[in-house]
Structure 1
Amino acid sequence: MDIEDSKVTIRSTCEARCARKDLVHNKFGKILGFEPRPSPTEDDIVKEASRCIFCYNPPCNTCCPANVDVREYVHAASVKNWYYAGKVVLSQNPMPLSTGALCAIEETCAGGCNLNNSLEGPIKTSKIQQFALRKFRELKIKPICPPSNGKKVAIVGAGPAGISCGVFLRRLGFPVTIFEADNFAGGLLMSELIPTRLPTEDIEWEVQMAKDTGVEFQLGKSLGKDFTVEDLKKQGYQAVFLAFGRPEEIVPDFPCEGALTSKDFLRQVCGVLKLKNGEKLPDFTGKKVCVLGAGDTAMDCASAASRLGGNVTVAFRKDFKGMRAHPAELHELLEQGVEFLSLVQPTAIDNGTITFRLQENNNGQYRGLDEFITRKFDTVILAFGAKIGKHSELIPGKINVQKVDGQDMLFVGGDLAQSLTVVEAVNDARTAARMIADYLGEKREIPCFETEVDHVSLETEFCGMKFKNPSGISSAPVSGTYECIRNCFKAGMGWAVTKTILPQRMSSVRTTSELSRLMRTQAHLAHSATSA
């Protein structure tokens, strides 16, 4: 087991399990340990954002799958401009709190940061983004709901891709209805991610922002059961975006008697913690729990089982270098005392008894050996991923990237388009929204996020002249040349007072828009007359 290469540290199992026990139950029997991770302070975030060197060509922007202007919102956070920071992120990403919590930033924005080799490392963009958006949420400012153009679009699935596509299309003026099979919006973010990773209120706020933009939700409506694609056509929808994910669990071809699936287990836990269904959490106190798999879903299952009191073992076929799970999740589970059993391939499960075939790694090629071991557990959870399964029959054609062959009005995104992360699903949604807009004859860029704040008039009257905003520069060295004044105007200032300026340079830089904002003082006029 090559722990060093996985960049994690381990403390003794006894210490970790004692710490976990304190997390799970207090003396009053109240369940603990599922609270959201503590948020950094405002001073911490401002200090972190102020480390940014604000590169001229920022690699963080290039590396963001959602095309968010990372440098811009980090700069806004460094000066505590939480409204503008939120506006920058929301303009490109309608799911900012979810992506901030779940993004593997080491592989995206932070991975390209020019401070990677510094002592403090890259800018912690995800923490800045989450904090800034929660500050923005506290402002309780609603987005503008654009007028409808009458060209209806239906979206199937209220997960990250569906919600994001709905928001982008509404900004373009399309009336949007999202059909969701469950009785809640949010998809897997709500039903299969424990609050420790993503708090309920974060998802609910993102859904509410979509509603405030004008997106309509019809919950409890399932494709194939309550309606078909053909029904949507008959109801007047001119385009359909399919984003219902992969609803079926992948079950291995060996006997799995008595095993739970990750969907069943996580839905049970999230149903209690997030959806408040009134049921009881499973009690794993003192029980041996085995999670089979090495992806993020397996880590979620292991984390939940550990917090429920179980002695958890994660078993997987590859070694630590081949794990798909994020290293931070691995590190946290090791801190909780979770055991990892690598290079083992389960061949049979019989009511908790698992037979493993040992594996070897030969230069990245994993091969089974003729050696077997058996382990006994109280609960076994299968976390081998998900698939479309029989739901593919509901799609009238073959999926080709983000389109359906032979169906001009059908578009797909998210898990259906093989996206692996939430932020990729958001990018799928933006791409699909542009494709739908082009298909329906609205060939223009998706507008930025806007609120009523952006339309507040700053117009003012001064010295008998009207200006678009009251900010300007007075007579000073910075306004000693028209070049300096021009730069100030480009930065958004409304006017400038000039005194001792070089009149011979006026012809090369003077423009009508600039002259309309120049105020010439009596001293300047006298100086000009004397010079003449």
Structure 2
Amino acid sequence: MSNITGGQISANLAENFQEIFKGMTKTEAIVEANRCLYCYDAPCITACPTGIQIPKFIKKIASGNLKGSAKAILESNPIGASCARVCPTEELCEGACVLNNVSKPIAIGNLQRYATDWAMKQKEQLFEAGTQNGKKVAIIGSGPAGLSAARELSRLGYKVTIFEAEKEAGGLGRYGIVSFRLPKEVVEWEVQQIEQMGVEIKTNTRVGVDISAQQLIDQYDRVVLAIGMGKVPNLGIEGEQFNGVYDAIEFIKSTKTSPLTESVVGKKVAVIGAGNTAIDAATTALRLGASNVQILYRRTRNEMTAYQFEYDFAKQDGVEFRWLTAPTRIVGNANGEVVGLECIKMELGEAGLDGRQKPVPVDGSEFIIDLDIVIKAIGQSRYTELIEAFELNHTRGVVEVDKETLKTSQEKVYACGDVIFGYGQGDAMVVSAAEQGKEVAKAIHQSFKLISAS
């Protein structure tokens, strides 16, 4: 490392954040598309949360109709280009493919990417807004759920305004998923597709600060809450104030909003948690030049919430895993810098209310790991203050909604995405959020149809 100049290191880091898979070639896509059996009652469609007509879009690839293929995908999933990259297809559509029983499943995710990549290169507007019906809808948040709701509402004739607190629209896709899996250009294209339909996006606008909840209720016919979740909460242990302790969400976000730096090069890193965000933070640290990265989890691999393909990817990248290990204290030096992490071994005890065995400390098993950086990835906090500003019923920040309509306890307010995920409600996937955005749009439209009919 000592023989590499700063400029060379920076160039190497930038290369590390290029998208890993470059996509299928034309020949590869056509060969794979022709493997599909085009099932009449295709189980892959049922397994897709957005209900993409998978045999239809694959058949159009085989026949050379890439525009038709892309439209078939995006008709069902407004953020189909992102989902082609981040969906756990092994567990969803590909996992349901009938060919699993005889060979290997169709590479549905890669074919979806092939078609949507073609659409991005054409820079063609694929959908148009419907005839204006005079109704206005405000959407808070421009992540997967908010963008999906906006696209569908615009097609139904509503005047849609999105309020986004960040500088750029895109939410989780823009800021929270690492570039080597989801480049920002993909999300930007999806945002542009929606803006070109007449949807107004007000960035740098925080509801509750720049405009109040009551103003939105008064000024709009309906309001959609698609605010996702917030920062990672504190670990609740001594030493969290030391330099070198990071929030995983902010750590990942920094690689997508600022020039890459050499601040992690050669450092020893521990990531606390074992979800998808923890995996992203760990692989990000390695790609920033960390000499060693460990994921610490108080349960076992069987209980980790990260997808299997995420785990496999982290292992391939060189991430180490310490199971049944919990942090008890962050150790710092006189300069206020992290130098270690005190941990304790755990064992699984009786099952809790969620059905999972509770981790219990093993007496006398404390030990210290030499470290330079600690990254917290133990879930995310909720925007409870904003939720309560709308006077919505919620359970610890998880908004309560009608399961059929996704309407909240307030007549004019609907909610979708991560803000309604948790405690048995929904599934925290990008594709699920996209589907909920569609469901909200349909429910809002249906509510006005019922009013008109009465």
Which digits, 9 at most, give the CA deviation of each residue in 1:291-335, with x for residues without a partner? 111011011111110011102111111222222112222222222
Residue in 2 aligned with 1:425?
Answer: 433
5+ residue gaps in structure 2? 333-337, 351-355, 394-398, 422-426
Q: Distance in 2 between matches of 1:167 and 1:72?
A: 22
TM-superposed deviation, 1:27: 7.4
Structure 1 position 53 matched with structure 2 position 37: yes
TM-superposed deviation, 1:139: 2.7
Structure 1 position 263 matched with structure 2 position 266: no
* Cα distance, 1:137–1:29 mapped onto 2, change above 3 Å: closer
Q: Distance in 2 between matches of 1:51 and 1:362?
A: 48
TM-superposed deviation, 1:442: 7.2
Q: Distance in 2 between matches of 1:280 and 1:211?
A: 29
* Cα distance, 1:29–1:388 mapped onto 2, change above 3 Å: closer
Q: Equivalences for 1:475-486 in 2 at 5 Å?
A: none
Q: Distance in 1 between matches of 2:415 and 2:383?
A: 16
Residues 296 and 323 of structure 2 are in contact (CA less than 8 Å); yes or no, is this contact kept in structure 1?
Answer: yes
Residues 164 and 430 of structure 1 are in contact (CA less than 8 Å); yes or no, is this contact kept in structure 2?
Answer: yes
Amino acid across the alignment from 1:133? T
Which digits, 9 at most, give the CA deviation of each residue in 1:262-286, with x for residues without a partner? 12211211112xxxxxx45243222
Amino acid across the alignment from 1:67? G
Residue in 1 aligned with 2:378?
Answer: 384
Seq. identity, %: 32
* Cα distance, 1:106–1:29 mapped onto 2, change above 3 Å: closer
* Cα distance, 1:431–1:346 mapped onto 2, change above 3 Å: same
Structure 1 position 245 matched with structure 2 position 245: no
Q: Equivalences for 1:306-317 in 2 at 5 Å?
A: 306-310=286-290, 311-317=292-298
Q: Distance in 1 between matches of 2:144 and 2:60?
A: 26
Residues 70 and 115 of structure 2 are in contact (CA less than 8 Å); yes or no, is this contact kept in structure 1?
Answer: yes
Amino acid across the alignment from 1:53? L
TM-superposed deviation, 1:362: 6.2
Residue in 2 aligned with 1:393?
Answer: 388
TM-superposed deviation, 1:110: 1.1
* Cα distance, 1:173–1:394 mapped onto 2, change above 3 Å: same
Q: Equivalences for 1:206-245 in 2 at 5 Å?
A: 206-235=190-219, 237-245=220-228
Structure 1 position 122 matched with structure 2 position 111: no
TM-superposed deviation, 1:98: 1.1
Residues 248 and 278 of structure 2 are in contact (CA less than 8 Å); yes or no, is this contact kept in structure 1?
Answer: yes
5+ residue gaps in structure 1? 1-17, 273-278, 445-532
* Cα distance, 1:149–1:304 mapped onto 2, change above 3 Å: same
Amino acid across the alignment from 2:448? L
Q: Paired residues, what number?
A: 415
Which digits, 9 at most, give the CA deviation of each residue in 1:110-140, with x for residues without a partner? 1111111233x11111111011111122233
| Residue in structure 2 matching 1:339, options 301, 304, 320 | 320
Q: Distance in 2 between matches of 1:192 and 1:420?
A: 14
Residue in 2 aligned with 1:275?
Answer: none
Q: Distance in 1 between matches of 2:10 and 2:445?
A: 57
Residue in 2 aligned with 1:281?
Answer: 261
Amino acid across the alignment from 2:407? K
CA RMSD of the aligned region, Å? 2.3
| Residue in structure 2 matching 1:354, options 341, 349, 372 | 341
Residue in 1 aligned with 2:60?
Answer: 76
Q: Equivalences for 1:504-523 in 2 at 5 Å?
A: none
Q: TM-score, normalised by structure 1?
A: 0.74
| Residue in structure 2 matching 1:368, options 354, 361, 372 | 361
Residue in 2 aligned with 1:509?
Answer: none
TM-superposed deviation, 1:30: 4.6
Q: Equivalences for 1:452-491 in 2 at 5 Å?
A: none
Q: Equivalences for 1:71-220 in 2 at 5 Å?
A: 71-119=55-103, 121-142=104-125, 143-220=127-204
TM-superposed deviation, 1:91: 0.8
The alignment partner of 1:433 has SS state of: helix
Larger radius of gyration: 1
Q: Distance in 1 between matches of 2:7 and 2:322?
A: 27
TM-superposed deviation, 1:97: 1.2
Q: Distance in 2 between matches of 1:41 and 1:190?
A: 26
* Cα distance, 1:318–1:213 mapped onto 2, change above 3 Å: same
* Cα distance, 1:271–1:178 mapped onto 2, change above 3 Å: same
Amino acid across the alignment from 1:205? W
Structure 1 position 319 matched with structure 2 position 300: yes
Amino acid across the alignment from 1:423? V
Q: Distance in 1 between matches of 2:384 and 2:147?
A: 24
Residue in 2 aligned with 1:403?
Answer: 407
Q: Distance in 2 between matches of 1:113 and 1:25?
A: 47
Q: Distance in 1 between matches of 2:124 and 2:141?
A: 26
Q: TM-score, normalised by structure 2?
A: 0.86
